[in-house]
Structure formats: C-alpha cells, structure tokens
C-alpha cells in the first residue's frame, strides 16, 4: 500500500494482492515511519455503510503513533473492481471543522491490474 500526501489531499494506492486481501478479509493495513517521531498505521476497511460511528475517514493517536482509517462501502468497491484496470480511483472530499476540506483518493495500481487482468475491453 502506498500513501501520498500533497496540498490537494491524500492518495492511497494498493496493488492487486492487497485488493484481494481487502475483498476477502474486509481490511488491509500497513505500518509506516517517516522519522523517529512520526509513525503509524494506515488501514482501509470495507463497511456496509458509512455511519457516525464508522465515518469515511478517522484518525487516532496513541503511544505507538497515528492510526488513519479509510472506510469504503462494499458496493462501491465492487463497482470499482468491475472497471479495473483503470486510472480513475474512488474519490471523496470531506469537510473538516476548522480546516480546509480533505480530498481522499483510493486507487488500485493500474499497471499491476493490467498485468494481472489484461487490458480493459472497451
């Protein structure tokens, strides 16, 4: 899983094997470390629906670092998988109290998808 931050938001890209894990287990996660003080876990979870208790995006912090979780509806992921390989991912713009809106893009690596699935028929 690759995580990219820039001025426009956060981009999460997984490969086909991580996609298979997400579909079968309902979650995939990775640990990351930027430096001695900035480390954490990124998780992507499948949910039936987004709720107040299970929001699209959440972050927490404890002694082990940050945990960020992106939740995707099962139906949305299934529809996206039907379109693979594709350069277009799933995208959400989330409002935040006291901050600019956050855009999150979730993608399946197009090169890996093409290698494993073959080119998409048009």
pLDDT category at 35 given cuts 50, 70, 90 is confident
Q: Where are the domains of the chain?
A: 2-114
**Does the model's pTM come out above 0.85?**
yes
Q: What is the per-residue pLDDT across 56-103, written as a single tens digit (0 to 9) for each? A: 999 999 888 889 999 999 999 999 999 999 999 999 999 878 888 889
Quote the strand ranges of 1-122, DSSP E.
Answer: 2-6, 9-14, 27-33, 39-47, 57-62, 65-73, 90-96, 99-108
Distance CA 84, CA 69 (A): 23
**Higher pLDDT, residue 18 or 101:** 18
**Residue 80 contacts residue 105 (beta carbons within 8 Å):** no
Q: What is the pLDDT of residue 122?
A: 59
pLDDT reported for residue 106: 97
Determine the CATH number of domain 2-114.
Answer: 3.30.1360
**98, two tokens:** 């006291």
């Amino acid at each position: 899983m690759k995580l990219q931050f820039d001025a426009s938001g956060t981009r999460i890209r997984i490969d086909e094997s991580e996609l298979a894990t997400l579909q079968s287990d309902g979650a995939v996660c990775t640990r990351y470390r930027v430096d001695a003080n900035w480390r954490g876990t990124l998780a992507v979870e499948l949910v039936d629906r987004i709720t107040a208790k299970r929001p699209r995006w959440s972050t927490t912090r404890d002694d082990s670092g940050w945990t960020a979780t992106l939740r995707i509806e099962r139906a949305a992921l299934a529809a996206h998988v039907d379109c693979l390989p594709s350069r277009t991912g799933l995208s959400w713009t989330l409002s935040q109290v006291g901050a600019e809106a956050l855009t999150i893009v979730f993608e399946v690596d197009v090169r890996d998808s093409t290698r494993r699935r073959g080119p998409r028929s048009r």
